[in-house]
Structure 1
Amino acid sequence: MNILLTGSSGWLGRHLAPLLKADGHGVVGLDVAPGTHTDVIGAVDDRALISRLFGEQPIHGVVHGAALHKPDIERFPKQRFIDVNVSGTLALLEEAVAAKVERFVFTSTTSLMISSAIREGRGDAAIWIDETLAPLAPRNIYGATKLAAERLCRLVHDEHGLPIVILRTSRFFPEEDDQAHLLSTSGENTKATELLNRRLTVEDAAEAHRVALARAPEIGFGIFIISAPTPFSPDEAGALKRDAANVVARHFPDAAGLFSRRGWQLPRSIDRIYDATLAERVLGFRCRTDFAALLETLRQDRPLPFKHDPSYVSPQAIAQRGP
């Protein structure tokens, strides 16, 4: 198949493109900044460009990973989020329908599920988050536009039958958390603990997209949370909020010692859990790297299974600052 991959220069795209090529697919990479797997420089909201790409050669599938993300809120006005995340998605969907594309995978985010109340940690128990969470009340322009794009995907599927799989990925970015100044732990420490409840590796994110592309025609339409499987159960939600380190110790007795050797700390409180059970049951995908796998690398003193790169610069930031 020929696959149009948007966001091909980004963190996900640079890991996904080689997987698709290894499967024998032709990959047309589109991004606003150059990259190893990027063939066309341009934005997804350039309708003339998108139309031309679908007209130049047969496109059998689309993986739409291009977007403005939460860190871009400080760099771009709200209108640009609407242009890229909403209008760009609509352009791709409509051109895909016109070109009789066979499948469409949309990279979404668990961020759109987080209301201000969840973000502020209100309540006395961790919030258990799966695909049934409602109502959805995104707290910023990033979440609002990704939710709007999801609803456009649903509308186009209902109207035209285009098979679409939406992946609400949790965190896999390599850079520092945008709230790093409020955290008492290092970037690596934070990423390590997030594998308990709200993170996955970029390699797992790429593999999830690969699986979704293959399964989309069979599924028809689906929305799935993609995150490392949590070791916790809903009946531990209260204890996780009060004393997460103690709950972690019950599941992993040597975790505190392994963390201490690196100067790390276990989390004092966990306010949310992303449950990826539906993806495992329906999509047939389960992340390979979880918190247990992380601990095994610490026991054997092997390289960490996730990337931490505070100097990482996104394609959007590169394109904005220019040559």
Structure 2
Amino acid sequence: MRVLLTGSSGWLGRHLAPLLVQAGHTVTGLDVAPGASTQVIGSVADRALVFDTVARFGIEAIVHAGALHKPDIVRFPRQAFIDTNLTGTLNLLEAAVEAGHPRFVFTSTTSLMVRGDVRAGAGDAGAWWMDEDFGPIDPRNIYGVSKFAAENLCRLISAESGMAVAILRTGRFFPEDDDTLAVPSGLNLKANEFLNRRLTVHDAARAHVAALERIAGCETFVISAPPPFSREEALELATDARAVIERHFPDAAELYAAADWVLPDRIERVYDPAKAERLLGWRARIDFGAILQALRRGDDLPLGHDTDWVSPITTA
């Protein structure tokens, strides 16, 4: 298929474009910043540009990965999030419907599921178990608000047009250090997050390709590395996560000590990607077990960590 990929110069886009090509698709990239896979420079908020690009390149399906993200809150006003994340999504959806596209893939975020009470800590039953049925949804910032509203546009237009839409609520895959957590940090934090809320950017890209090729109807998916835990362990995770981790990985503490890392004392939410495996045939290749295996062997850590990464949107 001839695929329009938005956000083609970003961290996800630069990994996703080659995978789409490898899968046999012809990719046209659209981004506000130049990049190796970007042919059209401009904003998805520019309705005329979106419709012209879809027509000029004979686009047959859209993968909408472009957005303002949570770190952009300090750089852009709220209106920019509405323009890019909401109006831009509407422009793309309506262009896709007008062109008769059979499918549309939308990159959303697990961040919109993190209500105030979730952010405050575990619930009465222990760690929050967050799959596609988790709710109610009550985003805590303009990023989450704009993404949830865009999701609802996807659902509305899919219902009205019959276009198949996959909404991918991706866990963390950004390469830079966390902008709010300092202890632990860097590689240690990223490794810990593979227990409950992270995946590699390459696995995130693979999920988009799977969604493009296999989606039917309109479905929402949580996209993250599979947690090694069960729901029955939720209460213990919130009080003594190390005991649960060591039950599943007996040498984890030893491997972490050798790396001068620390395991988490508590895990207060867990993202469950089982639906994506069931309906899309997708499963993250890198999980916490793979991180420990790299530590055992002394291999390079497959974490996708890059403290030098600078989003191209900051210089566009």
Normalised by the length of structure 1, the TM-score is 0.96
Does the 8 Å CA contact 2:122/2:128 hold for their aligned counterparts? Answer: no
Alignment: residue pair count: 315
Matched, 1:103 2:100: no
Instruction: Name the amino acid aligned to 1:314.
Output: S
Does the 8 Å CA contact 1:101/1:162 hold for their aligned counterparts? Answer: yes
Does the 8 Å CA contact 2:122/2:269 hold for their aligned counterparts? Answer: no
Which residue pairs with 2:224 in the alignment? 227
Matched, 1:267 2:289: no
3-state SS of the aligned residue for 1:225? strand
Which residue pairs with 1:204 in the alignment? 203
Does the 8 Å CA contact 2:236/2:244 hold for their aligned counterparts? Answer: yes
3-state SS of the aligned residue for 2:5? strand
Does the 8 Å CA contact 2:114/2:138 hold for their aligned counterparts? Answer: yes
- The 2-side partners of 1:78 and 1:143 are apart by 11
Does the 8 Å CA contact 2:122/2:238 hold for their aligned counterparts? Answer: no
Which residue pairs with 1:42 in the alignment? 42
Q: CA RMSD in A?
A: 0.9
Does the 8 Å CA contact 2:174/2:201 hold for their aligned counterparts? Answer: yes
Runs of at least 5 residues in structure 1 that lack an aligned partner in the other structure: none
Instruction: Name the amino acid aligned to 1:198.
Output: R
- The 1-side partners of 2:28 and 2:101 are apart by 14
Deviations along 1:151-177, one digit per CA (max 9) or x if unpaired, are 000000011111111110000000111
The runs of 4+ residues in structure 1 deviating greater than 6 Å are none
Instruction: State the shift of 1:283 in Å.
Output: 1.7
Runs of at least 5 residues in structure 2 that lack an aligned partner in the other structure: none
Which residue pairs with 1:57 in the alignment? 57
Which residue pairs with 2:190 in the alignment? 191
- The 2-side partners of 1:57 and 1:118 are apart by 44
3-state SS of the aligned residue for 2:3? strand
Normalised by the length of structure 2, the TM-score is 0.98
Does the 8 Å CA contact 1:31/1:315 hold for their aligned counterparts? Answer: no
Instruction: State the shift of 1:24 in Å.
Output: 2.0
Which residue pairs with 1:126 in the alignment? 127
- The 2-side partners of 1:187 and 1:318 are apart by 24
Does the 8 Å CA contact 1:153/1:164 hold for their aligned counterparts? Answer: yes
Instruction: Name the amino acid aligned to 1:193.
Output: N
Does the 8 Å CA contact 1:102/1:163 hold for their aligned counterparts? Answer: yes
Instruction: Name the amino acid aligned to 2:32.
Output: V
Instruction: State the shift of 1:122 in Å.
Output: 4.8
After TM superposition, the structure 1 = structure 2 runs for residues 60-71 of structure 1, keeping only pairs within 5 Å, are: 60-71=60-71
- The 2-side partners of 1:54 and 1:61 are apart by 9
- The 2-side partners of 1:135 and 1:207 are apart by 29
3-state SS of the aligned residue for 2:308? coil
